[in-house]
Amino acid sequence: MVRISRAAARAARVTELLDDSPVAVTDEAFADAGDEAEFLDGYWIVVLRGTSHAVVRALGTRALVGPVLLPTTVLRFLDPGAVINMCIVPVGQHWCVLEHGPCYPSAALPALRGASRPVPA
């Protein structure tokens, strides 16, 4: 319980820090991405984190995406296995966060997997 509680507190802190961070995609970078830019939106599991970026994979896939640029303040609290709801766009050799939602601890994965499946009619 203590481990899960700490992970939940760290995930909540990541969400707060992302809320306080300016959007990483500037108008110039957005223009450079072009009309054909591939926007990826969904739940992303943090696989690796560096000093200026993270490598992620979409929930339910094995393909890695990255590097995704994130503020260093966010990366300090971001645990591998954490899940972030975000929309990312490629800009040059990296990805930038266009929009984000909450961050969840890895303990939330079963619930998120269930939420991301289509509900039978």
Q: What's the confidence (pLDDT) of residue 47?
A: 97
Please give the domain boundaries of the chain with CATH numbers for all domains: 2-108 (2.40.50)
pTM: 0.81
Q: For 26-45, what is each residue's pLDDT tens digit?
A: 555 555 555 566 889 999 99
Q: For 6-17, what is each residue's pLDDT tens digit?
A: 989 989 999 999
Q: What's the confidence (pLDDT) of residue 120?
A: 42
Within 8 A by CB and 6+ apart from 60, the residues are 113, 116
Secondary structure tally for the chain: helices H, strands E: 4, 5
Within 8 A by CB and 6+ apart from 27, the residues are none
Per-residue pLDDT at 80 exceeds 90: yes
Determine the 3-state secondary structure of 44 from DSSP: strand
